Amino acid sequence: VCVSDFMVSKFYKFTGYVFLFAAGFFFFIWNNMSHPKQIRNNMIHGLELTLPFFTIYCILFRQKKDFVFYNGVFRTREEMAGYALMLFIAFLAELCYCLRSKWMEKRVVWMMLYGIGASVSAYFLYITWTVLALLAAMVVILLFAAYVVKNRKGLVLGILKSASILLASLACSVLVVVGIHTALRNLPEYLDTDIHYSGETLESGLDEAALAAAKAGTPGLFRGVHSSRGLEKQTVWTNYLRHLNLFGNNGTLTVLGTKTDAQSGYLDMVYRYGLFVLIPYLLMLFCGLYHAWKEHGFLMLGTTLAFGILMLAQCIDRPFAQPIWIVFYLGMGIWFGKPDRQAENSIQGR
């Protein structure tokens, strides 16, 4: 990355040097703190606290329209899916921690809230209908189930009580999600507060003919909406593959008259920084998976798996543009400490 910045001028300049020096200094300070785990805890708690404000904003100003994928507070549904997916992982990690934590025995309400938070996040993820993010969420759910089964003997409240609390949380979540869904569909229209962003990409699952008919019938509802079936990813990938070289490129390509990104994080990385970056980048992902597995925690393992899956067909590797990017890259900082410190600061569940 550092070599490529000198060879080819880019919009994101000297990103490698920022990581090498700024992030390296941050990781050094982090691992010399008295309680390094607190940094990652605060990072996740801060993200979780955004959900109520995010939900209120969407209810008031961002209507969920029929046959149109939901963008939430973002300009694209992919960004919305990345945010909701990271929240979903964070709340499940909290549940993993609660199930094994002794101090949660008398504070069951927190487990209920975390369960509701996970359900609301899953709902927002679902209405974006981003297939790859939904696949990542299913992998995370399987990982959560495997974690609970593996640690069933260590459940503080026991299997039956823990299951009853999770079921009660799920029942409450149904009421909350139904209320949010109803409000998203009706309240912005009733209050006349629905807003659209400049440069926003609105997509529908309808094909071009059906979308044209829908626009003719209700032009106001489908204003600015495009079919998600318009430009095939395979066509974009083929064009980007033709422009790969050793030291990278600047800008984005125009494919069939449309300026578009690579629609794959891995391909975008190689296109921007050259073929030399691919092997070190994949090694970093595998090392992240290894350390996350070794840590016996849920948060970083789920985040690393989800990040790797999203990178297959989404360009999410943009500095500080997505919560999942921040947690994935900065969350690895605790692994740069000594092995004994890592064991000391390992968090069951988180």
Q: Residue 101 phi/psi, 5° resolution?
A: -95, 130
For helices 278-295 and 299-310, what crossing angle results, to 10°? Answer: 150
Distance CA 276, CA 246 (A): 6
Looking at the chain, how many residues does it have?
350
| DSSP-assigned states of every residue in 244-299 | --SS---S-EEETTEEE--SSHHHHHHHHH-GGGHHHHHHHHHHHHHHHHHHTBSH
Predicted pLDDT of residue 14: 64
Mean pLDDT to the nearest integer, 34-62: 90
Predicted pLDDT of residue 230: 61
pLDDT at residue 345 tops 50: no
Predicted pLDDT of residue 319: 73
Predicted pLDDT of residue 348: 47
Mean pLDDT to the nearest integer, 2-18: 60
Q: What is the pLDDT of residues 267-288, one digit of tens each?
A: 988 888 788 788 888 888 888 8
Distance CA 145, CA 143 (A): 5
Radius of gyration of the chain, Cα coordinates, nearest whole angstrom: 22
pLDDT at residue 343 tops 50: no
Predicted pLDDT of residue 150: 85
Distance CA 96, CA 140 (A): 12
Distance CA 286, CA 282 (A): 6
Q: How does DSSP classify residue 202?
A: E
Predicted pLDDT of residue 313: 85
Is pLDDT larger for residue 104 or for residue 252? 252
Q: How does DSSP classify residue 229?
A: T
Distance CA 132, CA 337 (A): 33
Tokens 């600015």 belong to residue: 224
Q: Which structure tokens are listed for 114?
A: 């975390």
Of 14-28, 63-77, 239-253, the one with minimum mean pLDDT is: 14-28
- pTM for this predicted structure: 0.88
Mean pLDDT to the nearest integer, 31-45: 81
Distance CA 264, CA 261 (A): 8
Mean pLDDT to the nearest integer, 298-320: 88
For helices 37-61 and 323-331, what crossing angle results, to 10°? Answer: 180
Q: Residue 107 phi/psi, 5° resolution?
A: -130, 60
Q: What is the pLDDT of residues 65-111, one digit of tens each?
A: 888 999 999 999 999 999 999 999 999 999 888 887 776 666 788 88
CA 237 to chain centre: 22
Residues near 201 by beta carbon (within 8 Å), at least 6 away in sequence? 71, 75, 76, 77, 226
Mean confidence (pLDDT) of the chain: 83
Predicted pLDDT of residue 5: 58
| Residues of the chain above pLDDT 90, percent | 33
pLDDT at residue 228 tops 70: yes
Confidence class of residue 347 from pLDDT cuts 50, 70 and 90? very low
Of 37-41, 112-116, 237-241, 299-303, the one with minimum mean pLDDT is: 37-41
